[in-house]
Amino acid sequence: MKKKCILIINRNKKIYVNTKNCISLLSILLLNQINIDYQCKKGYCGTCKVVLIKGKILYQSFSPLAFLKPGEILSCCCIVEHNIEIKI
């Protein structure tokens, strides 16, 4: 089965997930014991933001409302579409 790779460049860590896995990036990080702050899990607070260095994500059923700088994404409400590189 094909897998997507999440490379966390500032922690020198790679996570592989099944291509059919549609849980949020935040859930994947937490399931893999990656410490990341979060609060609302609904796209409001911005606490869960990470920097997307490379690759593609998709936002789930709603668009994030928190303020984001260019390159930042909200891990609580996006899914990984292809291999990505992020910085936490």
Residues that bind ligand FES (CB under 6 A): 38-41, 43-48, 66, 74, 76
What is d(CA 51, CA 56) in angstroms, rounded to the nearest whole number?
A: 12
Nearer to ligand FES, 45 or 79 (CB): 45
Q: What 3 state SS string does 25-67 have? A: HHHHHHHCCCCCCCCCCCCCCCCCEEEEEEEEEEECCCCCCCC
Q: How far is the CB of 2 from ligand FES (least distance, A)?
A: 27
Nearer to ligand FES, 44 or 59 (CB): 44
Q: How far is the CB of 1 from ligand FES (least distance, A)?
A: 29
